[in-house]
Structure 1
Amino acid sequence: MRIQIQIFLGTLFLVATGAILIFVGLREDERMAEFERYQKAQQIEVGAELFEINCRGCHGLRGEGIPGLAPPLNDRHFFTERLAEVGWQGSLEDYIIATVSTGRQVSTRPDKYPGAGKPAMPTWSDRFGGPLRDDQIRSIAAFIMNWEATALGEVALETLPTPETEAADPITRGRAAFETYGCVGCHTIEGISSGAVGPNLTHIASHAGERKAGMTAEAYIRESILDPAAYLVEGYDDLMPKTFADTIPADELEDLIAFLLAQE
């Protein structure tokens, strides 16, 4: 009798173990897919932070590009035509990784997007002297690729309600314009930006009035934005976009000038 009970319990255990293994096996694909989605979401989140730190100065916070500086990465053209335009045979994600890693010595569209100097886009991979690891560059590429659905109009994002809190202070608004129009990518202001393509603007208000005889600091700053080739600071090339007269609205221009005049 005891032997029969032991056989029954052993058989029951084997059946139960088999059922559990079958159940786990049936859910394995689903579990692995969920894990991959989680990993991808984490990678995109890391890429978003890296993009904001390293790329927004030239390509804009949302990848909208900055006219006269760097192209948009969040539009239909980038996702549907860019590979054919440059003759790239691989995937778009591989193209992004390669371009970010090695940078660009010259712009492929210098008439529209001359870039941030020489080279037009710096090298970012630490394998070529840049500051980013390969996994960080892959995260940036994943973040950019995550724009595809909205760039192609396949998904429309809901606009979230946000309180309207327009800054009354023109200096505060001017700092926002300094970031929005890509100035942070080329100019250093201590504590705000670290661009090295253009002159350091940390104390521009103290020096601007001395640059051109008979011109006030405000007039000089205004001319430098609207007609940057009118006066070149020694040691710097004529690389600043010539489009700001058309792309910066008058009120934002005044705010930007006010912000720069506060940099004493």
Structure 2
Amino acid sequence: MVKSVISSKDNKKIKDYRKLNTTKGRKKSGLFLIEGEHLVEEAIKHGVNFEEIIISEGFDHDLELSNKALMYVTEEVMKSLSSLETPPGIIAIVKNVKERKLSYNRVLLLENIQDPGNLGTLIRTADAFGFKTIIVSPDTVDPYNPKVLRAAQGSHFHLNILTRQVSEAVMAFKGLKIGTSLDDAVYIDSFNKPDDDIMLVLGNEGSGLREDTLNMMDINAKIDMVGDSESLNVAIAGAILMHHFKS
């Protein structure tokens, strides 16, 4: 059977899918876009619902794509869809991941994180250390931003990622709430990992947690640093803290 290959960047579906590279387009459609064989493979492995899978003409892969809606396109059309300088041979249009049963044993709450690479790294690290529920504030960068998805390397499909107001999330959590601050905080090495459910709260790259958020915490923690640097990148600090408090 001869495959029909879309060669026009003005094709209606292609134009609609191109909008998924914007936050507005993702929110309006309830869809997001993932790029590359690895992310598509992870999505398949974890039973994600696909709208459609787009494949460059002549692209070879080992993915099991039976019973999936497929669209074949020219390299030029693929380039128009991709956010990468070198477009991949495959892109998938994915339906928003449904909220799973909440796991409150380890929760990561992120307030006003702005850099997509930082958010993606935090999501991937949370996956590694057993923080199965991630809550992001509405002013945090969109978790389904293409750069966030690439940095997280498929961890979106393993976790529950929610958007909530910080005060709402904190008040609903019944376990130990640990904020992060350089002032009026205790070194993490000075106390053992608690037996309680833990919510670890990280703030903006430049300004950290807001004062009203810090005031809602049970304890504020910091990392002992022996060098001359005054602070750590939020993703690095988050990795150290999540390892310390891992489930």
- TM value normalised by structure 2: 0.28
Q: Which has the larger radius of gyration?
A: 1
More helix by share: 1
- TM value normalised by structure 1: 0.27
More strand by share: 2
